[in-house]
Amino acid sequence: MDRQQSRADRLIHQFDTVLRTLAPHAASPQRVSPAKDVTGERMDDHERRHAAGLMRIHHTGGVCLQGLYQGQGITAQLPHARKQMEQSALEKIDHLAWCDERLEQLHSRTSYLNPLFYIAGFGIGAATGAVSDRVSLGFLAAAEEQAGKSLDLHQQSLPAGDACSRTILRQMAIDEAHHAHIALEAGGLRFPAPIKWLMHLGAKMVTRGVYHF
């Protein structure tokens, strides 16, 4: 009976996470936005749209990673691996909320493509988790590493006066590096450079569409 209840609890948690990930303004962060007390300079319309496009990319990246965590969580074989994924997924909710809030401040919106990327992330997470915890944690570490590189790049690409968005992306990059490290420490496989390059190529294709839509 306890085991069945535990499964039911996990299903309820999964459903709640899907809603908080995909429903507009539904993400409730555990941490306040790092840009809460940051003020930036005025931006013209072109700069504002560019900043919004970059923040939309990283919101969608968070959606995809959240799907990855949730998919891996249901197929993880070891309790410590599942617990690790759940903790990291909670911090992803923070990222979603921060990006969503910043997009609203920039008079913009999240991507229309988010449901597709959540489903894709979930499917990949479930598939790698079904192979082994070592593979799933390794894929997770590689994905977090790619996300961190993109965050570093876009901090430089943001308009000079957009200190708010830059502060958010900086904290997200710190979190991504931590997530990648602990996934490897938990036993994740270190993926070879060619696989990471293919993941980078896939991420670039995603960002082109999400920047606008």
Half-sphere exposure of 81 (CA within 13 A, CB side): 27
**Does 104 carry a binding-site annotation?**
no
What are the tokens at 117? 């990327």
Residue 203's Cβ-count burial label (10 Å; 0-12, 13-18, 19+) is: middle
**Sign of the Cα pseudo-torsion (199, 200, 204, 210, in order):** positive
Residue 86 annotated as lining a ligand binding site: no
176 annotated ligand-binding residue: yes
Q: Is 7 helix (H, G, I), strand (E, B) or coil?
A: helix
Whose tokens are 């570093």? That residue is 152
In angstroms, the CA 107 to CA 100 distance is 11
Listed residue (18, 167, 14) closest to 98, CA to CA:
167
95 carries a ligand binding annotation: yes
Q: What is the token pair recorded at 7? A: 């499964």
Q: Which residue has the tokens 């606008």?
A: 212
With contact defined as beta carbons under 8 Å apart, do 103 and 59 qualify?
yes
Q: Residue 49 contacts by C-beta under 8 Å, 6 or more apart in sequence?
A: 108
Annotated binding site: 95, 144, 176, 179
Annotated binding site for Fe cation: 95, 144, 176, 179
